[in-house]
Chains A and B, each alone.
Chain A
Amino acid sequence: MFPLIRLFPTEPRLNILAARTWLLCLSALLLTGSLVAMGTLGLNFGVDFKGGTVVEIRTKGPANLEDLRSRLNGLGLGEITLQQFGSPTDVLINVPQQGADTDTDAQVAAIEKVKTELGDSVAEYRRTEYVGPRVGSELRQAGLLATVLAMLAIALYIWFRFEWQFAFAALLALVHDVVATVGFLSITQIQFDLATLAAVLTIAGYSINDTVVVFDRVRETMRKYKKGSVPGLLNAAVNSTLSRTTLTSLTTLIALIPLYLFGGEAINGFTAALIWGIVIGTYSTIGIAVPLIYYLGIRSDSVAVPSKQEAAKADAS
């Protein structure tokens, strides 16, 4: 058999707890940066949440964005923005909502105008999406609700399976990951639409995975060595799970990176958010969640008694 690749020393000796102040400062910086970005740059809301129309066209030759932009903005339909979308012949045109709420006729007329102006420079209308303001605000509310519910449901589940310190730390780590991901979307100005929101929700569900793995080990270690110092036991738990915490994220990244490179422009932002969120989630598991349970005052005796069922299982082995 060929030699197996080992990415980590057999027994890593990271002293996470000693670095806890620095790690928390780093995260505080990350979160502040994210919040400042959200406050100043805001999010680049897509048509799903903002309302309006987006048209994706393929031009016959390489598109002359300057020319198209000035022609379309001469129509008096508000600020029409254009952007290259993948290849040089593909252009994404954003037409703002026309007139009042659900004034469909005005919107249809505006699109007609745009299409007439574009005339025969267009080879193919690849996609048209219109979202009225009412649906836009409904989607915004539903999205926010789903994200909050998902985080609460996950924390509730962790609470059900672990002690409250774990659940609370997990919830904070989740909020950390979600805020940092939304901050990333704000700084990069990646379009925030339904797909990127789905990515944020997925991050919430996924980034908790390695947190659970570490917590599981923390509990196991604490039950085994009741007398050890808490920082020592936490460090031991982090180090013995370090390879699997990072490798599981690595396998997922290995699958996602080709998706980012070859999956097409339409899901690029979505994949970028997922990749960032997975990296951040792994960092927050080691750097945030574990120090947090220390701060929340976990002690060996708070996890000491395994349930009867587990004790019976342990005997059986």
Chain B
Amino acid sequence: MVQIPRWQYIFALVVVLLGLVYVSPNFFSRSTMEEMPGWLPQEQVNLGLDLRGGSYLLLQVDVDSVFQEQLEGIVDVVRSELRRGRVGYTGLGRSGNSVVFTLTDPGQTGQARDLLRPYLNDATLRIDDTGAGTISLSDAAMAERRTRVLQQSIEIIRRRIDETGTREPSIQRQGEDRVLVQLPGVDDPERVKELIGRTAKLSFHLTDESVLPGSDAIPAGSEVLEGDQVAPNGQPVRYVVRKRVLLSGDNLVDAQPTFQQGAPVVSFRLDSIGAARFADVTRSNVGRPFAIVLDDKVISAPVIREPILGGSGVISGSFTVQQAQDLALLLRAGALPAALKVLEERSVGPGLGEDSIRAGETASVIGFVAVIVFMCAAYGLFGIFASAALLLNLVILMGAMSALQATLTLPGIAGIVLTIGMAVDANVLIFERMREEVRQGRGPVSAIDVGYRKALSAIVDSNLTTLIAGLLLFNFGSGPIKGFAVTLSLGIITSMFTAIMLTRIMVVFWLRQRRPQALPI
């Protein structure tokens, strides 16, 4: 162990140099770094949301409602088609992920198949001998649909967040039906949450004036919807609205907040198809009210005074300026394909983040100094070697964090402090073993040799067990805890290198220079 092959010297030198090169960007401001030559690494340590402030949102996309809607549509088709073809049926309805019905006359099976076939798309129809029919969505089709809904949701969320001017948002799919949104530096998470949480499904409908909202006999093609305003009796105003969609938000090409007679409104522009349809509808319904519906709520129900031919219009309602701005933003970005639910939210204000960084720095520096003082007091010159290795360990660890662009969190700083304590453990093991060998009468060279060799298996075993725990933590943990697992695991690896290889090189170098008669330990 006192004979060190040349490749080990070279390897150690290369690792230390790489550590220094990669850690260096952290000591300069970003603007200074940009002026440096391009081949130098420029990555700084990535601070987690708990240190830089910001919001972490875990959202669930309600994909099931999309499937239920699709099945509901199939039920409607089956009802109207079988009725049109005069095929008798009973028990039509949804059951799990399929639509079920029973033909009253099993002999009409072929006829039913022909009627339904054009509407099936990616669903499969089965009718058995007794006339029991099922239409089910195939697993592959559902998986594909799920992926598409998630991709769309992510796209819409991204557009909405971009509109708010947030820098460096991260929006990722997670698992089957979840989206993880990370927004560094956002200090008003409520507004963002409100923006991305709304489906923003806009549609224009004619109102049904034949009945009152309180009536028991609402026609099949109409429904009662609540409005935004509140009636004098404290209840929301209700409207009877025809289900048929005249125009939907998909036809919008632009929406902007503006003012009309001093009140905030949203003006919109339609695409050519939408404009043509809007012109038709307004021309044939002058004098009648139509409802502007957003997420199943009537925003307003103005009366059509004259045909609107230019393809642009204004949505008025009882908006505040902020509400008008948000609505315009939502309409521009488009509707979400399914509703979103917030499963988890963590927001940290910038003040707390700064305090945490300061606290972490103070604790690390004091811990580091205390460990160095102890090591020097306990092992003298060898303690100085161990301390130098410890400092290089921190350099390499931070260099690795920067190079890998791993995220540093507050628990991550705790992981570094823990690493500081654990890194010298290896040296304690080696030095104590050397003392023991010296006591048993070995000379310096032999004591050093045996000390490193015999301590090695215990060091490797004990570090590997901690690494096992670290990797499991990384696998299961989220956000800040992952940060702890990262610094702990990286720290164990780098400390094995510095505490064993680097101190050994230092000790051997000293041994060759001084040729001591006894070990100062």
Contacts and interface: CB of A to CB of B under 8 A. Distances in A.
Nearest to B358: A264
Contacts of B359: 262-264
Interface string A68-109: 000000000000000000000000000000000010100110
A270 B360 CA distance: 14
Contact of A256 (B410, B421, B462): B421
A206 B370 contact: no
A217 B455 CA distance: 10
Contact of A258 (B363, B374, B418, B466): B363
Contact of A195 (B58, B470, B481): B481
Contacts of B190: 108, 111-112
Contact of A267 (B349, B411, B468, B473): B411
A154 B425 contact: no
Interface stretch (B121-129, B240-248, B265-273, B339-347): B339-347
The secondary-structure label for the interface of chain A is: helix
Nearest to A131: B344
Given A126-B351, A129-B347, A244-B432, A104 B375 contact: no
Nearest to A8: B432
B411 A244 contact: no
B422 A317 contact: no
A194 B481 contact: yes
B184 to A, nearest CB: 15
Given A145-B476, A146-B472, A266 B356 contact: yes
A173 to B, nearest CB: 12
Interface in A143-180: 143, 145-146, 149-150, 153-154, 157-158, 161
Given A145-B476, A244-B429, A267-B410, A255 B417 contact: yes
A205 B429 CA distance: 18
Interface in B375-403: 375, 377-381
A108 B343 CA distance: 12
Given A209-B462, A259-B367, A263-B360, A254 B421 contact: yes
Given A126-B348, A129-B347, A157 B367 contact: no
A206 B422 contact: yes
Nearest to B188: A125
B368 interface: yes
A41 to B, nearest CB: 25
A18 to B, nearest CB: 24
Which of A104, A107, A129, A254 is packed against the most chain B CB atoms within 10 Å? Answer: A254
Interface in B327-361: 341-349, 351-352, 355-356, 359-360
Contact of A208 (B363, B424, B462): B462
Given A126-B352, A194-B477, A206-B422, A255 B488 contact: no
The secondary-structure label for the interface of chain B is: helix
B179 to A, nearest CB: 14
Contacts of A139: 478
B37 to A, nearest CB: 38
A284 B488 CA distance: 23
Contacts of B445: none
Nearest to A147: B472
Contacts of A253: 421
Contacts of B454: 220
29 contacts: A102-B343, A108-B190, A126-B352, A130-B346, A145-B476, A146-B472, A146-B476, A150-B468, A150-B473, A158-B465, A194-B478, A194-B480, A198-B473, A198-B485, A205-B468, A208-B462, A213-B429, A216-B458, A216-B461, A248-B429, A251-B375, A251-B421, A251-B422, A254-B374, A257-B370, A258-B362, A258-B366, A262-B363, A266-B352
Interface of B: 50, 58, 60, 189-190, 193, 197, 341-349, 351-352, 355-356, 359-360, 362-364, 366-368, 370-371, 374-375, 377-381, 410-411, 413-414, 417-418, 420-422, 424-425, 428-429, 432-433, 436, 439, 449-450, 453-454, 457-458, 461-470, 472-473, 475-478, 480-481, 484-485, 488, 520-521
